Amino acid sequence: MSPSPADRFDDIPPSRGRVGAHRAENPRFGGPGLFLWAAVATVVLIGAGIFASLVAQGRIVLFPEPAPTAAPVDTVAPVVDTSYTVLVLNGTPEAGLATRVKDELVAQGWPESGVLASNAGDREFPTTTVYYAAAEAEAAARGLAGILGAADVVLDPEYPLPGTPATQLTVIVGTDRTAAAESDDGTEIEDGTEIQDGTEGGSDTAP
């Protein structure tokens, strides 16, 4: 049989891959690669579920409210006002403390008749305290506390006591001003004049 004559189709090189619509599957999306992507997606979904659960339970706050700032507390400036009558009560078993405090106040400008010394009903009062009965007396109470070194200033409508002037401050001398307490601080103790007074449940001990 004689060979066929050569034509233009004899010049087409042989194909090394598939030709037409039926191409081979891309190997990048199969096998281990597909498993890895599936594992990553699973981890992401689980993490998102846990996060959403914590948000729903309130354990995670997405937009926390700012903490409220505390309002500034106005502090009344102390004023030394010698027009106030001062009742000094000895709240310790040591005799003469109220009298010593009275002498201190007289030395600071109070009139002798404007400071009363007596004994308190409680003879184991721990901390020297200045009491005032109305808000308008706070400045004078703080001024008095500054002179005495009193640790506490307290608003108490129980003071002034019955039969005493309305414009009165009350000082209860505590055991922090006894000879033992002050000697521990290295403070020299001076002897005071002892007097008798029955005010505020006083005793036979001099105030």
pLDDT interval class at 195 (50, 70, 90)? very low
Domain boundary among 38, 56, 74: 56
Q: Are 112 and 173 contained in the same domain?
A: yes
Q: Are 153 and 115 contained in the same domain?
A: yes
pTM above 0.75, yes or no: no
Report which of residues 38 and 25 the model is more confident about.
38
Give the per-residue pLDDT at 31: 65
Lowest-confidence range among 27-36, 115-124, 142-151, 178-187? 178-187
Residue 187 has pLDDT above 50, yes or no: no
Note the pLDDT tens digit of each residue in 59-72. 777 667 777 776 66
Residue 95 lies in a domain: yes
How many structural domains does the chain have? 2
For residue 33, what is the enclosing H or E element? helix 32-56
Residue 10 lies in a domain: no
Q: Are 89 and 137 contained in the same domain?
A: yes
Range of the domain at 98: 85-184
Give the per-residue pLDDT at 29: 54
Q: Are strands 152-155 and 85-90 parallel, antiparallel or unpaired?
A: unpaired
Note the pLDDT tens digit of each residue in 111-136. 999 999 999 988 899 999 999 999 99
Lowest-confidence range among 32-36, 168-172, 175-179? 32-36
What order of strands is seen across the sheet that includes strand 168-173? 115-119, 85-90, 168-173, 129-132, 152-155
